[in-house]
Amino acid sequence: MHIHLSDSLSHEQETREYTAQIEADVLDIGTARYPITEKKPVRVRITNTGDKKLLIEAEASFVLIMPCDRCLEDVRVPLSYSVSRTADLGEAPGESEEQAYLDGYDLDVDTLIRDELFVHLPMKVLCREDCKGICNRCGANLNHGTCGCDVTELDPRMAVIRDIFKNSSENMD
How far apart CA 94 and CA 120 sit, in angstroms, is 26
DSSP string, 43-70: EEEEEEEETTEEEEEEEEEEEEEEE-TT
* Residue 142 near residue 133 (C-beta atoms within 8 A): yes
* Segment 42-66, tens digit of pLDDT: 999 999 888 888 899 999 999 999 9
What are the domain boundaries of the chain?
Answer: 2-120, 135-173
* Residue 38 near residue 21 (C-beta atoms within 8 A): no
How far apart CA 22 and CA 62 sit, in angstroms, is 9
* Segment 114-143, tens digit of pLDDT: 888 888 889 999 999 999 999 888 889 999
* Residue 8 near residue 48 (C-beta atoms within 8 A): yes
Helix (H/G/I), strand (E/B), else coil: 33 = strand
- pLDDT of 95 > 60? The answer is no
Per DSSP, helices labelled H in the chain are 6-9, 109-120, 159-172
Residues 6+ apart with CB under 8 A from 103: 2
Q: What is the pLDDT of residue 89?
A: 77
- The pair phi, psi for residue 33, each rounded to 5°, is -125, 125
* Residue 111 near residue 141 (C-beta atoms within 8 A): no
* Residue 142 near residue 135 (C-beta atoms within 8 A): yes
Helix (H/G/I), strand (E/B), else coil: 171 = helix
- pLDDT of 82 > 90? The answer is yes
Q: What is the pTM of this model?
A: 0.70
